[in-house]
Structure 1
Amino acid sequence: MTARPAQPTAIRTDLGAIFVSLELSRSSWLMTSLSPGNGEKMSKHSVPAGDLVGLLTLFGKMRERCEAKTGCDYPIVSIQEAGLDGFWIHRVLEKEGIESHVVDPASIAISRRRKRAKTDRIDGEALLRTLMAYKRGEPRVCAMVRAPSPDEEDRRRICRERKALIAERVTHVNRIKGLLFSQGVTNYEPLRRDRRRQLEELRTGDGRTLPAYMKAQICRELERLELLLEQIKTVEEERDALIAAQAAEAKPSAVKLLLAIKGVGAEFAAILWSEGLFRHFDNRRQVAAYAGLAPTPWQSGSVDREQGVSKAGNPRLRTTLIQMSWLWLRHQPSSALARWFSERVQRNGGRMKKSTIVALARKLLVALWKYATSGVVIEGAIMKNT
């Protein structure tokens, strides 16, 4: 937007750029634009999804029409929601010299009516108004997403793939145990190395051998399970190789520092680094908010209470921090954080452990962030080399 005029006007139309919002879907891309010299009219255009050439052609036509009306060549400023399309469109637009922004859709204010209208047309206009307010410098109008680099985005795959494989492994193990439980067998462990020999020796609760078709089904389940175990092993080797490469650097990396803490293994260190600590944060509030561990107050008149954590951040990082907090109490009982947890629980009469562990997770994340970025050692923490 251009500078404010000396005399304020009710409606400002002196735009200093062509503002475009992109509403992306799997079938089409809807563009809503507002250009200088076009009054207050928002124009709408659409191209088939994935038609990047058509999108850039439309951008070029917008600039040509704007220049024909105003005699000036204006830049294009675009906005899109973070979603399934990822960041590849954002990267292409920036490579073409277009100022591009990716916004967190949950941060955009919407109507709170019980039945509100929702269409791509309405959403496109709302995105455009949000972009203009953001460029005017209005505080807290939305939360823009910092797009990770391709390398940062790619190395997340390792830990995320391992988590998906572990979930599939649990599914197959439970299915095998469920099939055997229906026949009175409760002592079979599919993850043991002698799983197939055990299967041959199994007898049902009434002393029979396993039914032929059930045994064949379990064998096929074991084949899928063994394939999963092999893939998990491969992914863990890739993870360990990535961690070793980072630890071998001359400059102390976040992964190397995290691995020096007792109770932090390769998986925890890799998730903390790839999901959160590789980013730059200005303060501890940003760190807690990124993990969804920031408190959410509800205050209106005489009502003043806490609703718990926001859960609006990275769910993988938040889950890992809560799991790590329980293990922190076991491996670091003499640390200041563990003592704080014990005193807080005792003050509540031994109750509210779950809500207190979430508070501990927030404190632990902030402490690890300070340690990994500035080298501030956590008070009372035991290191592996001591």
Structure 2
Amino acid sequence: MAMQGLRRTRQQVLGFLLRQSRIYSAGNHWTGKHRRWLAAQGFEHPARQIAFEEMVQVVDEAEARRDRLARQMEALVPSWSLAPVVTVIQALRGIALIAAITIVAEIGDFHRFANPRQLMAYLGLVPCEHSSGAKTARGNITKAGNTRARRMLVESAWTYRLPARIGETILKRNQGLDQSIRDIAWKAQVRLCARHRRMTRAGKSANVVNVAIARELAAFVWAIATSLKQPV
């Protein structure tokens, strides 16, 4: 997928810089500010400079491919019977167009799940249980469900590490949506951002935190998607 390719190429650039002790600490990666910082990096050894420039060029190409795919998908959505679901779940932080399309395409009709826990199980986001006598221990998630949709939710969960807020992007995606849907999305932000912060402070690993947030995020996706009438 285009997003996976972009993620991989970006990691290669950051890994290369880390090995050269070049660490960006002025904010998030891949923002305009970070891009300007990247452009200012230079290496004395020609081979390193060439390798760095080539890796950045690959990132540029991957971003262009992602944007091209997003435009193509956006053009096709209006003719899709599940287009309304794609629109409303984008009210949730971290779920932009490609993520929304992927999740809806993989899951289909959300009404087939009687409750959010059934959806979590379908996605492989529920912990596996081991019983021994009177005791039941919970382990890692089963990972037995839909891989692509689960991956999208785990990636989306990363955005909840920041404080809850309604930025310009969310405001734009919220235009025309019912207040009830916006209320669910805001409730998700407040709850998930707070939980992300608590778990991080408790020393939980980033992977454990993201999976826990993704599990709850799936419940909010279900709540919003099932607020619409069942597709015919």
Interval of TM-score (by shorter of Structure 1 and Structure 2): 0.5 to 0.7
User: In the alignment, what sits opposite 2:97?
Assistant: 266
User: In the alignment, what sits opposite 1:186?
Assistant: 22
User: In the alignment, what sits opposite 1:278?
Assistant: 108
User: In the alignment, what sits opposite 1:318?
Assistant: 150
Count residues with an aligned counterpart: 197
| CA deviation after TM superposition for structure 1 residue 253, in Å | 2.5
Q: Flag the 1:374–1:229 CA change in 2: closer, same or farther, 3 A.
A: same
| Match for residue 223 of structure 1 among 32, 35, 54 | 54
SS of corresponding position for 2:9 = helix
* Residue 163 (1) aligns with residue 4 (2): yes
Distance 1:269 1:310 in 2: 23
Distance 1:340 1:195 in 2: 32
User: In the alignment, what sits opposite 1:25?
Assistant: none
* Residue 331 (1) aligns with residue 172 (2): no
* 1:292–1:311 Cα contact (<8 Å) kept: yes
* Residue 246 (1) aligns with residue 77 (2): yes
Distance 1:345 1:193 in 2: 30
| CA deviation after TM superposition for structure 1 residue 279, in Å | 5.4
* 2:129–2:138 Cα contact (<8 Å) kept: yes
Distance 1:196 1:328 in 2: 29
Amino acid at match of 1:277: I
Can you give the 5+ residue segments of structure 1 that lack an aligned partner in the other structure?
1-159, 203-209, 377-386
* Residue 304 (1) aligns with residue 132 (2): no
Distance 1:290 1:194 in 2: 42
Q: Flag the 1:218–1:298 CA change in 2: closer, same or farther, 3 A.
A: same
SS of corresponding position for 1:192 = helix
Distance 1:332 1:193 in 2: 26
Distance 1:193 1:340 in 2: 32
| CA deviation after TM superposition for structure 1 residue 219, in Å | 1.1
Distance 1:195 1:341 in 2: 30
Distance 1:272 1:323 in 2: 12
| CA deviation after TM superposition for structure 1 residue 293, in Å | 0.8
Amino acid at match of 2:187: S
Q: Flag the 1:216–1:240 CA change in 2: closer, same or farther, 3 A.
A: same
Q: Flag the 1:375–1:259 CA change in 2: closer, same or farther, 3 A.
A: same
Larger Rg: 1
Amino acid at match of 2:143: K
* 2:164–2:193 Cα contact (<8 Å) kept: no
* 1:345–1:353 Cα contact (<8 Å) kept: no
Deviations 1:255-295 (A, max 9, x none): 21122345532343244234x33356443444212221123
* Residue 236 (1) aligns with residue 77 (2): no
Amino acid at match of 1:166: R
Larger strand percent: 1
Can you give the 5+ residue segments of structure 2 that lack an aligned partner in the other structure?
167-185
Larger helix percent: 2
Q: How does 1:93-112 map to 2 (within 5 A)?
A: none
User: In the alignment, what sits opposite 1:5?
Assistant: none
Amino acid at match of 2:122: Y
TM-score between both structures, scaled by the size of structure 1: 0.40
The alignment-based identity, stated in percent, is 22
Amino acid at match of 1:294: V
SS of corresponding position for 1:296 = strand
Distance 1:306 1:175 in 2: 38
Amino acid at match of 1:331: A
Deviations 1:307-346 (A, max 9, x none): 2421222344334323433534733696167448858997
| Match for residue 87 of structure 2 among 251, 256, 264 | 256
| Match for residue 361 of structure 1 among 214, 226, 230 | 214
